[in-house]
Structure 1
């Protein structure tokens, strides 16, 4: 029912992005990504658009570009480094074409004709975006340092957890998941 309401409220959004709903991520993460596609994540730019004033709209990390959802999740240098590591981990081509949230999801949706592999990659992509957002918030609100290897470990753990709980895929060993050995890890 909720999906139907969302589809009707956004017109053809579901037709443009059907893969948003077809993964093993929790509902709150799916909604986060759906809102990110629409630019409705509370970044400085989005909040300023809603009338909240800031001394500047610059990204609090790089201070080069305005903080909007595409900068935060795709083009911010830290995010670019994370996407490069994620692509290396899942053994797909470089993330150099990831310029915004939509390009990331379109890439994931077209990556494989195998439905399970595609769903798996989209789940990893959702875990990546969610981890970037959560770590951004930890940095801003708690002053915690964000390190590439820690964020990458968070992504692997989240995706593994979601896959273990929400899918019928049985992963034999953590080491196979950590190495993203698709052939060896699934029954």
Structure 2
């Protein structure tokens, strides 16, 4: 079984001490296979591909978890380095790999849990009309 060009990330991910559902979530994030508005738009005509919270741009995986104002607030409140929040990346997997190379295992597991909570907060906003404040996520 090969890991491809991101071998370091995938091997480290499966060794993190966190819930299996969070590791699977991060695997899906890395492969950008979660149902983002930009993905749904490519399948379904007439679907809005903008950010459901702010509508300002195309909702990509990076936007939802890192670049959306709500996600930036959550990451900033959590004390994550601004260099990782504001640095530009083309793909989510590159961002995750950079983080994995710098953070220790405990910090990375905490960050993955934070990203999972950001994703759930996004979904609660879309499907239930509820959104938590950044400091509560």
Q: TM class by shorter-chain length? A: 0.7 to 0.9
Q: Are positions 1:93 and 2:81 aligned together?
A: yes
Residue 25 and residue 54 in structure 1: after superposition, are their counterparts in 2 closer, same or farther (change >3 A)? farther
- What is the CA-CA distance between 1:25 and the residue it aligns to? 1.8
Cα RMSD (Å) of the superposition?
2.1
Aligned residues: 133
Name the SS of the counterpart of 2:52 in structure 1.
coil
Tell me which of 81, 93, 101 is aligned to 1:102: 93
Query: Per-residue displacement from partner, 1:46-93 (whole Å, max 9, x unpaired)?
Result: 2223x123442111111111111111001111111111122x2xxx63
TM-score normalised by L of structure 1 = 0.63
User: Does the CA-based 8 Å contact 1:105-1:122 persist in structure 2?
Assistant: no
Structure ranking higher on relative contact order (CA contacts 8 Å, 6+ apart)? 2
User: Does the CA-based 8 Å contact 1:70-1:101 persist in structure 2?
Assistant: yes
Query: Per-residue displacement from partner, 1:107-166 (whole Å, max 9, x unpaired)?
Result: 432225xxxxx1101111111110011111111111113211211xxxxxxxxxxxxxxx
Counterpart of 1:170 in structure 2 is none
Counterpart of 2:125 in structure 1 is 139
